[in-house]
A = this chain, B = another copy of it.
Amino acid sequence: MKWNVYLSGEIHTDWREQIIQGCREADLPVEFTSAVTDHDASDAAGDVLGAESSHFWRDHKSAKVNAIRTKTQIERCDIAVVRFGDKYKQWNAAFDAGFCAALGKPYITLHSADIIHPLKEVDSAAMAWAQTPQQVIELLAYVINAK
């Protein structure tokens, strides 16, 4: 059985690479998907369709193009990992978590203990809260491989 894992959220640290690398080392049958994590490319996703003079509509257009990808990836995934860093608003990560919750997709949150309180609604609908990528790897290994 192959597992499809969607990695959502923070793009400023290498948590995705750590998880992907760790799962590869553990030889887990996982396919990972993710939003485009190149910040500038993501912001410019809609530019190919023509320039916009308004910031709102440029963002809007790019966000919708990105959503073609992320909505499809979330709907296909078996598990999502949603990462919140200590900087930035990351409303898109919370949005993805809500999207998963409504679809009944199990998700794991990944964040440090100092933001437990503002994330309580997001965590309460999650299947697990991890603090390190290593914990996520171990969870995935257990979920997929334990007998």
Q: Please list the residues of chain A having a beta carbon within 8 angstroms of any beta carbon in chain B.
A: 1, 3, 31, 33, 36-38, 41-42, 45-46, 48-50, 52-57, 59-69, 71-73, 76, 78-79, 84, 88-104, 106, 108, 113, 115-125, 127-131, 135, 138-139, 142-144, 146-147
Q: Which of A73, A76, A99 has the most CB of B within 10 A?
A: A99
Given the complex, which residues of B lie within 8 Å of A121, measured CB to CB? 63, 66-67, 91-92, 95
24 A–B pairs (Cβ distance < 8 Å), ordered by A: A1-B73, A38-B147, A45-B142, A49-B131, A49-B139, A55-B116, A59-B117, A60-B124, A63-B121, A65-B127, A65-B128, A66-B121, A67-B121, A67-B125, A67-B127, A68-B143, A69-B144, A69-B146, A89-B118, A91-B118, A92-B120, A94-B94, A94-B95, A95-B122
